[in-house]
Amino acid sequence: MYKIKVLVVDDSAFMRKVLSDIITSHPDINVIDTAKNGEEAIAKIQKHNPDVVTLDVEMPIMDGLSALQRIMDSHPVPVLMLSSLTQQGADATIKALQYGAVDFIAKPSNIFKINVDDMKKQLQDKIIVASKVNCRKKILHKAQVHKKARKIESNTKKSTSRQAKLRKIVAIGTSTGGPRALQNILPNLPKDIEAAFVVVQHMPPGFTKSLANRLDSISEINVKEAQHNDILLPGHGYIAPGSHHMEVVKEDDKFKIKLNQNPQVCGHRPSVDVLMDSLASLRSSDVVGVILTGMGSDGAKGLKNLKKNKTHIIAQDEESCVVFGMPKSTIKLGVVDKVLPIDDISDEIIKAVEV
């Protein structure tokens, strides 16, 4: 039986050993070699042609981000980043996802905790998913913001009037590959769009703030990590914080965000289903549902409930997805109105808001 070939890259000999032991404990995965820095990693990728590379961010000689860009340019291969649970590590991880990494694992501050069962399962599962990604075919080539998007300088950042009309709420759910997909949507929305955007991206705490800051810096709309009791405003985007479910409720004729730490749903917190179910309970047709790349089926049931309100629902197509699981599960339920490549979704959202 064929085993998934993995190259482990980390400057710590101890970490290379721990990761290798965890990975090879799965019967279908084999660590074919290790490397201690980016330069060595590039040479060994060319030599061994691995199916997946786990790549540390912080390394001497050549760091993970520099190595990743070289890998994507010269020998595209699915890469999982190993990131520290710090603000600097989170910022670097968001850049890595922009540069073409498939996904990431948050490395515990205490490396002895990496052997716990949930970390083991997470790492093995993500390697299996990454091994199925075709970097040459999918959107993981050299990363850049969609050509329509442009960087918004801080001194010209628009401020949408609180008196502007909120016509629609656009709810977006995504997981693996989501940061790249969101970067192809939110920067292409006009600042005066009469809609608020609520986004669930499966990510651990800390990383969602870095993602929101990155998206805000390249978008005309204002993007932030959501806070409890935020009032939805047109031309604003709200990213659910890691480890918190996000719901939308109506209070005093205003739509507000409510955060909670209730149990996981579909194995996730935040969960797309939780967001979509809260919007379905509003019984309003002034909602647009969007489901993007991701593993599993989170969001499908919630969007089915949302469809009862005649909601317009958009799904990303298989060709442009890193992982087609979440859109596929929703499409199977027969509730999707449009299945589109990622580059066409922002235009479809604008049309739906204007209807």
Predicted confidence (pLDDT) per residue in 57-110, tens digit: 888 888 899 999 999 998 999 999 998 877 888 999 999 999 999 999 987 766
* CA pair distance 326, 316, nearest whole angstrom: 9
* CA pair distance 130, 63, nearest whole angstrom: 21
- According to the CATH classification, is domain 154-354 in 3.40.50.180? yes
* CA pair distance 151, 216, nearest whole angstrom: 9
What would the mean pLDDT of 199-220 be, rounded to a whole number? 96
Whether 202 has a pLDDT exceeding 70, the answer reads yes
What would the mean pLDDT of 4-14 be, rounded to a whole number? 95
pLDDT at residue number 62: 87
pLDDT at residue number 111: 64
> Phi then psi for 344, rounded to 5 degrees?
-100, -5
DSSP category for residue 349: H
Element (H, E) at 103: strand 103-107
pLDDT at residue number 58: 85
pLDDT at residue number 1: 82
pLDDT at residue number 150: 44
* CA pair distance 188, 310, nearest whole angstrom: 25
pLDDT bracket for residue 148 (50, 70, 90):
very low
pLDDT, tens only, 295-330: 999 999 999 999 999 999 999 999 999 999 999 999
Cis peptide before 270 (omega within 30 of 0): yes
Place of tokens 């002895």: 112
Whether 155 has a pLDDT exceeding 60, the answer reads no
Has 131 been annotated as catalytic? no
Pairing of strands 254-260, 245-251: antiparallel
Residue 134 C-alpha from the chain's centroid: 18
In words, the CATH class of domain 4-131 is: alpha beta
Whether 115 has a pLDDT exceeding 60, the answer reads no
DSSP category for residue 50: -
Q: Do domains 4-131 and 154-354 have the same CATH topology?
A: yes
* CA pair distance 197, 71, nearest whole angstrom: 34
Burial of 303 (0-12, 13-18, 19+ CB in 10 A): buried
Say what angle helices 325-332 and 300-307 make with each other, to 10 degrees: 40
Alpha carbons within 13 A on the beta-carbon side of 310: 3
Of the candidates 32, 44, 45, 39, the one whose C-alpha atom is nearest the C-alpha of residue 6 is 32
pLDDT, tens only, 217-240: 999 999 999 999 999 999 999 999
CB under 8 Å to 277, separation ≥6 — which residues? Answer: 247, 301, 302, 305, 306
Catalytic residue among 298, 312, 329, 346: 298
Has 202 been annotated as catalytic? yes
Domain ranges of the chain: 4-131, 154-354
pLDDT at residue number 142: 36
What would the mean pLDDT of 240-256 be, rounded to a whole number? 96
Whether 272 has a pLDDT exceeding 90, the answer reads yes
Q: DSSP characters for 161-194?
A: -TTS---EEEEEEE-TTHHHHHHTTGGGS-TT-S
Of the candidates 175, 185, 169, the one whose C-alpha atom is nearest the C-alpha of residue 270 is 175
Q: Which two tokens stand for residue 191?
A: 């600042």
Catalytic residue among 26, 202, 245, 312: 202
Whether 153 has a pLDDT exceeding 50, the answer reads no
Q: Which strands, in side-by-side order, build the sheet including 79-84?
A: 29-35, 4-9, 52-56, 79-84, 103-107
> Which tops the pLDDT comparison, 232 or 1?
232
Whether 280 has a pLDDT exceeding 70, the answer reads yes
Has 25 been annotated as catalytic? no
pLDDT, the chain, mean = 90
Catalytic residue among 175, 210, 219, 320: 175
